[in-house]
Amino acid sequence: MENNLIIDARDLTKTYQMGVVAVQALRGVDLKVEAGEFLAIMGSSGSGKSTLMNLLGCLDSPSEGNYYLHDQDVSQLSDTQLAHVRNKEIGFVFQMFNLLPRTTALANVEVPLLYSGVGAGERRQRALRALEEVGLKHRAYHYPNELSGGQCQRIGIARSLVLNPRLIICDEPVSSLDVSIQAQIINLLEDLQEEFNLTYLFIAHDLSVVRHISDRIAVMYLGKIVELTT
């Protein structure tokens, strides 16, 4: 099964230097994740969840340790190389959606394509298809302030999918939504997982929201994974 691994992180540490003070945000994290898995990550504020996601999402490099993404050691890459891997492999869904406010749903979904140099015609076509995947094609020309929180998160999900990544990193994607809407978004993520064989790393605030779709749950405490349950 080893060749089915998408993530193989070994002894990752991350230290932030704040003037003379060194903050040890990660203190030796080992983690293997198989393709198609849904891994929930929990832990109190400051336990290192976001730092770990930044490293696994190729937004930042570890201070020490190795990170193999599809067998490629990405822990030593330059920022430019890391950005290239990120565009190709990873999608992000955020708690506050992070949409551009004066920009239509369609144009928001086009942003990653724009950064990847995809031409206007193809951009529009692919963004429309991604909006269709999340059930929002009919809102393509609406602005975020005309849409509900759940709809905005669907746009965020369409944007995360538009470059066809295999790994999706979600940082509390439903924490700011009504409980009734949370389930819809989780169901959508589940459907998309089946359709595209996606792997999810999902930072969760509330276990009850993700328990039924998680293959494993990792609990972080003071920069370490202290519990990993199936």
The residue ranges that bind Mg ion (CB under 5 A) are: 49-50
Residues belonging to the chain: 230
| Shortest separation between residue 32's beta carbon and ligand ADP, angstroms | 20
Size of the site for ligand ADP (CB under 6 A): 12
Cβ density class 71-91: b for 16+ within 10 Å, e for less: eeebbebeeeebeebbbebbb
Residue among 25, 93, 198, 209 that touches ligand ADP (CB under 6 A): 25
Residue among 49, 86, 123, 126 that touches ligand ADP (CB under 6 A): 49
Q: Are 216 and 228 in contact (CB under 8 A)?
A: yes
Q: Assess 43 for contact with ligand ADP (CB under 6 A).
A: yes
Nearest CB to ligand ADP, comparing residues 53 and 192: 53
Tell whether the torsion through CA atoms of 195, 126, 201 and 65 is positive or negative.
Answer: positive
Binding to ligand ADP in span 74-133, by CB under 6 A: none
Q: 93 to each of 44, 61, 73, 141, 160, how far by Cα in Å?
A: 20, 20, 24, 21, 6
Residue among 16, 71, 76, 226 that touches ligand ADP (CB under 6 A): 16
Q: Which region among 48-56, 112-120, 132-140, 210-218 touches ligand ADP (by CB under 6 A)?
A: 48-56
Q: Assess 21 for contact with ligand ADP (CB under 6 A).
A: no
List CB contacts of 188: < 8 A, sequence separation 6 or more. Answer: 134, 135, 154, 157
Q: Assess 229 for contact with ligand ADP (CB under 6 A).
A: no
Give, for 11, the enclosing helix (H) or strand (E). strand 5-18
Q: Which residues bind ligand ADP (CB under 6 A)?
A: 16, 18, 23, 25, 43, 45-51
